[in-house]
């Protein structure tokens, strides 16, 4: 690829999740220069956090590894991790973009030998596992981390540890690194910054913060994952109990004007998927699913049909009004059955809140001049050569995400080939 300063004609892809990777690869494989800017230390986004993904129920490595291999082979793609966009100015065909790059404190000399990681005792809350365990302050963010380079959380290190790390014999550590800025010129921009789990502690009646037995659907993904905090065993956080009964609370904060007014499209499918995680480990566990509607559009109907044949699963049409923590560590889920109009109080060992996907842009914002809708989803602006993709555009599954990311790549290629919107 051309030098970082001379990237005119290149496409900037912001966000290195499955949508950003798709857009980047589609554009690069037809010859475009592409720059990926990723906020975290690794590519892969939220898909890397899933235990398995529907409909095929394969581990995320099968989808991500192929993309990593394609990226490794493609000299047209340049990646900046731990990087965000600070400003965008200019016009289609010639945007000037300023990046801010956070220090990794690990240099390209790192041999990934891991001796630094084991030489210091310091730890901090593991964000990848939603704080359900800790990770060393010198760390690979997760087992599929790509690029496969260590990261150092300097704030979590003692002065003695910092001194020790500076002794790396390969010159792989540089504790004097600081925040850098970099300016690029690109022709068009794809915004693929994805989503964050809706903050469950904001849904007062579901009492997420009041009991370890109440978890979110993304926490369930990590509990079930072999690389997760319990090595894949689904146990109640806090006391480690093997759950004999589990309730899924659908639309937790979704389709609700006080929280997320839209349907996140995947939460019902995520629950059906997570029922299989439970069944694999606990054949006799009782499952309750509280829902408003069960939405599994199109090709997903079959998946739902199979899961609904589970004889130990009860589906209750009724919005959950309250979850009451109990002294034995369990919780009681309170709802009204909309079909029988009877009030239900169901005691369970664990409750899983099916929280929706909120666009990252709703939290972090977007550069000046970019457009978002009322919920924070980024609106494509073809006249300006700016396109949104994946869950930055709309809440969706991986299949839909990759489709609209391919479409965004095509539009961005057209702008870059024309040298601007009007040629
Ligand atoms: C509980 C649950 C289970 C799910 N299970 C499935 C499933 O089984 N099958 C399925 O098809 N879908 C599933 N999904 C949906 C799936 O996770 C999404 O479709 C997918 O993550 C969308 O990818 P994305 O690249 O758009 O966003 P993300 O995965 O969020 O990736 C966005 C990337 O952008 C980066 N980023 C964010 N902000 C910035 C910034 N300002 N600058 C630079 N980089 C930034 C992030 O760090 C991240 O790497 C599930 C969702 C949930 C909630």
At 95-115, the pLDDT tens digits run: 999 999 999 999 999 999 999
Q: Is ligand 1 within 6 A of the CB of residue 42?
A: no
Q: What is the pLDDT of residues 370-412, one digit of tens each?
A: 999 999 999 999 999 999 999 999 999 999 999 999 999 999 9
Whether the Cβ atoms of residue 277 and residue 224 lie closer than 8 Å to each other = yes
pTM: predicted TM-score of the whole model, two decimal places: 0.96
* pLDDT over 60 (residue 142): yes
* pLDDT over 70 (residue 7): no
Give the nearest ligand 1 atom to 396 CA. Answer: 19
Q: In angstroms, rounded to a whole number, what is the distance separating the alpha carbons of residues 118 and 115?
A: 5
Q: Is ligand 1 within 6 A of the CB of residue 60?
A: no
Q: Is ligand 1 within 6 A of the CB of residue 268?
A: no
Mean pLDDT, residues 303-312:
94
Question: Among 49, 56, 53, 45, which Cα is nearest to 22's?
Answer: 45
Question: Among 50, 97, 399, which Cα is nearest to 226's?
Answer: 50
- At residue 184 the predicted structure's pLDDT band, cuts being 50, 70 and 90, is very high
* pLDDT over 70 (residue 3): no
Give the nearest ligand 1 atom to 217 CA. Answer: 1
Mean pLDDT, residues 280-304:
94
Rg (CA), the chain: 23
Neighbours of 314 (CB within 10 A): 14
73: tokens are: 């082979």
Q: Is ligand 1 within 6 A of the CB of residue 411?
A: no
Kindly give, in sequence order, each residue whose CB lies less than 8 Å from that of residue 206, ignoring residues fewer than 6 positions away.
Answer: 200, 214, 249, 252, 253, 320, 323, 353
Give the nearest ligand 1 atom to 389 CA. Answer: 26
Q: Mean pLDDT lowest for which of 1-5, 17-21, 32-36, 224-228?
A: 1-5
Q: In angstroms, rounded to a whole number, what is the distance separating the alpha carbons of residues 8 and 313?
A: 57
Cα(123) to centroid(ligand 1), Å: 26
Q: Is ligand 1 within 6 A of the CB of residue 219?
A: no
Q: In angstroms, rounded to a whole number, what is the distance separating the alpha carbons of residues 356 and 212?
A: 20
* pLDDT over 90 (residue 422): no
Q: In angstroms, rounded to a whole number, what is the distance separating the alpha carbons of residues 113 and 111?
A: 5
Q: Mean pLDDT lowest for which of 61-65, 85-89, 97-101?
A: 61-65
pLDDT at 1: 53
Give the residue carrying structure tokens 């404190």: 105
Give the mean pLDDT of the chain: 95
Q: In angstroms, rounded to a whole number, what is the distance separating the alpha carbons of residues 11 and 185?
A: 9
pLDDT at 419: 78
pLDDT at 297: 85
């Amino acid at each position: 690829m051309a030098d970082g300063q001379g990237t005119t004609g290149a496409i900037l892809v912001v966000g290195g999740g499955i949508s950003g990777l798709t857009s980047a690869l589609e554009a690069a494989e037809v010859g475009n220069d592409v720059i990926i800017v990723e906020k975290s230390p690794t590519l892969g986004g939220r898909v890397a956090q899933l235990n398995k993904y529907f409909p095929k129920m394969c581990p995320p490595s099968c989808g991500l590894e192929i993309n990593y291999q394609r990226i490794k082979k493609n000299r047209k793609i340049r990646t900046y991790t731990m990087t965000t966009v600070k400003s965008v100015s200019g016009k289609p065909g010639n945007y000037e973009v300023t990046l801010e790059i956070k220090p990794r404190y690990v240099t390209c000399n790192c041999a990934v030998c891991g001796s630094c990681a084991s030489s210091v005792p310091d730890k901090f809350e593991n964000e990848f596992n939603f704080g359900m365990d800790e990770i060393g302050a010198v760390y690979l963010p997760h087992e599929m981390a790509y690029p496969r380079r260590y990261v150092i959380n300097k704030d979590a290190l003692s002065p003695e540890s910092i001194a020790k790390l500076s002794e790396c014999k390969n010159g792989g550590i540089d504790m004097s690194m600081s925040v850098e800025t970099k300016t690029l010129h690109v022709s068009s921009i794809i915004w693929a910054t994805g989503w964050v789990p809706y903050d469950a502690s904001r849904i007062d009646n579901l009492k997420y913060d009041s009991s370890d037995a109440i978890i979110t659907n993304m926490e369930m993904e990590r509990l079930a994952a072999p690389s997760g905090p319990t090595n894949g065993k689904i146990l109640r956080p806090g006391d480690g109990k093997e759950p004999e009964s589990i309730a899924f609370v659908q639309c937790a904060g979704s389709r609700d004007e006080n929280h997320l007014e839209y349907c996140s499209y995947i939460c019902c499918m995520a629950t059906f998927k997570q029922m299989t995680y439970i069944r694999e480990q606990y054949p006799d566990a009782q499952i309750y699913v509280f829902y408003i509607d069960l939405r599994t559009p199109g090709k997903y109907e079959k998946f739902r049909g199979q899961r609904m044949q589970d004889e130990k699963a009860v589906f209750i049409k009724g919005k959950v009004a309250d979850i009451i923590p109990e002294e034995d560590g369990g919780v009681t889920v309170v709802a009204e059955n909309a079909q029988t109009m009877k009030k239900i109080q169901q005691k369970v060992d664990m409750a899983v809140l099916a929280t929706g996907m909120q666009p990252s842009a709703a939290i972090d914002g977007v550069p000046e001049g970019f457009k978002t809708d009322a919920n924070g989803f980024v609106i494509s602006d073809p006249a300006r050569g700016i396109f949104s993709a994946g869950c930055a555009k709309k809440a969706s599954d991986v299949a839909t995400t990759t489709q609209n990311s391919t479409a965004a790549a095509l539009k961005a290629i057209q702008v870059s080939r024309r040298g601007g919107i009007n040629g």
